[in-house]
Amino acid sequence: MSRKTVREALNAALDEEMRRDEHVIVMGCDVGLKGNPFGVTLGLAKKYGLDRVIDTPISEPAFTGMGVGAAATGMRPVVEIMFCDWVTLASDQIINMAAKMRYMFGGKVEMPLVIRVPMGAGGGQAAQHSQSLEAWFNHIPGLKIVAPYYPADCKGLLKAAIRDDNPVLFFENKRCYSVKDEVPDDEDWITPIGKARVVREGSQVTLVTYSSMVKVCLDAAQELADEGISCEVIDLRTLLPLDYETVIASLEKTGRIAVVHEAATRGGMGSDIVAELCERAFDLLDAPPLRVGALNVPLPYNESMEAAVLPDKENVKEAVYRLLSND
């Protein structure tokens, strides 16, 4: 085990998979010589050359389409969209091509494509550089979606995504790149896609979350514990497929649940998860399930206003109080 930041863990995953399999390539704006704006691909071009770590023109539709074509013809490309907001430009290639080709060709064409999508707000980057759009793609059959928080999961899930024969959208929160924790050094160690993890045991309320909100929920749970309130925190890690077995097992204990994410509340992952739970486990609910997310407004440039829009631990605690007020 080594202590690594999320940035270092992602870099290690790419390095190990490129060394293991010569078909793995990386492409995107500034991923090569500059090592990407966040340092995730730093040093890879020097190791593997610019024919495998490819600096592309600033055209998300073009280089995402290149990735789709490369995946369909035997390569295992990792495409980077520099900011989540710009994944909209490549939506045709992702939704109409990558997600559907394996099905439309009867399985004769595989699509081992990973699209890394740095998401999230913070630092006053304004409305066009701060969004979290993972729920948009949850609607699309044929895709897998992961959104880890811990460095070990970032490494393990990226390796699993690269080895998968289906298209995987890999959402990583920009504010989490400096999060540091223990990471396994074993090059064959992966985190399985589709498995959530209970990161804090509890008995009264279940908090279901992912990505940057894992820390927010854990902080809220600790403060609530000081008040005598016991919260269980589940890090989903994977959004599609989603591990409802783990979520429902927790709900059986607590009877109360809130889904917490950084994305805007309306139409977010929380809406779909709550709907599924109402269909699958309605009899387990002792209170109406709640959603905690950002306000339904564009992300402001002003950092004080931005903070007011994003969910924080006080919002999580208020949701827990509401759930318990139904006693």
Q: Do domains 2-183 and 197-324 have the same CATH topology?
A: yes
Q: Which amino acid is at 104?
A: M
Best CA proximity match to 206, nearest among 236, 226, 176: 236
- Token reading at 30: 């500034």
Per-residue pLDDT tens over the stretch 83-129: 999 999 999 999 999 999 999 999 999 999 999 999 999 888 899 99
Per-residue pLDDT tens over the stretch 258-281: 999 999 999 999 999 999 999 999
| CATH number for the domain whose boundaries are 2-183 | 3.40.50.970
φ and ψ of 21, to 5 deg: -140, 115
Classified by CATH at the fold level, domain 197-324 comes out as Rossmann fold (3.40.50)
Q: In residues, how long is the chain?
A: 327
Interacting residues of 214 by C-beta distance below 8 A, sequence separation 6+? 149, 150, 199, 233, 235
Per-residue pLDDT tens over the stretch 163-197: 999 999 999 999 999 999 999 999 999 999 999 99
Percent of the chain with pLDDT over 70: 100
Q: Which amino acid is at 164?
A: D
Per-residue pLDDT tens over the stretch 232-249: 999 999 999 999 999 999
Is the pLDDT at 284 greater than 80, yes or no? yes
User: Which sequence positions are flagged as catalytic?
Assistant: 60, 129
Domain ranges of the chain: 2-183, 197-324
Mean of per-residue pLDDT scores for the chain:
96
Q: In angstroms, rounded to a whole number, what is the distance separating the alpha carbons of residues 125 and 130?
A: 6
